[in-house]
Amino acid sequence: MSQFLQVPSPVGVLTLEAEQERIVALRWGEAELAYDDRSAVLQEGAAQLEAYFKGQLSAFDLPLHVKGSDFQKAVCAQMSAIPLGETRTYGEIAKELGQAAQPVGNACGANPIPILIPCHRVLGANGLGGFSGAGGVETKVTLLRHEGAAGLLI
C-alpha cells in the first residue's frame, strides 16, 4: 500500500510516494491521496528535499525503488551517479550503457523519482533537452542554477 506526503518547495508542491519504506515516486502538485506523515522514509525524504533546496545537501541518501524495466533502472542508476553541479549528455549515458541516445532520453523522461534521481542533470548534445516535471525546461534550468551548473546554460 502506498503512502504519500506533500512537500513544499521552490519549484512547487512535490508529492513523495513510498511503498514498503522505499520512495517509488516524486510528482509535482497536490493530489487527492491518502497522506501519511508517519512514514519515516517520507519524513526523511521531506527533510532531505528541504536541505537540498536550502543548499545544505549535495547528495540524497534515501531508499529508492524504481519501478520499470532493467533498462529504465540502468538509466536511473547512471543519472543517480551524476554529482551535484555536474551534467552528462544523453549520448554519454547511452555510450556507458551500449545503447542509442534516444531510448536514454525516453528513459530520462520517464524517471519516476525526479530531483532525487537527477534527470535534470542530463542534457542534449546541443541544448538542454527536455524535462518532464512541472514547468518543463524552466524547472530544469531552475534546478541546474540552484546546483551551480548555470555556467553551462550561458
> How far, in Å, CA of 49 to CA of 57, rounded?
8
What does the H/E/C string look like for 127-138? ECCCCCCCCCHH
**Matching residue, cell 506523515:** 37
- Which of 75, 119, 122, 123 is catalytic? The answer is 119
Nearest 5°: phi and psi at 100? -85, 160
How many helices, marked H, and strands, marked E, lie in the chain? 5, 5
**Would residue 119 show up in a list of annotated catalytic residues for this protein?**
yes
> How far, in Å, CA of 124 to CA of 109, rounded?
12
**3-class secondary-structure state, position 6:** strand
Catalytic residue numbers read: 119
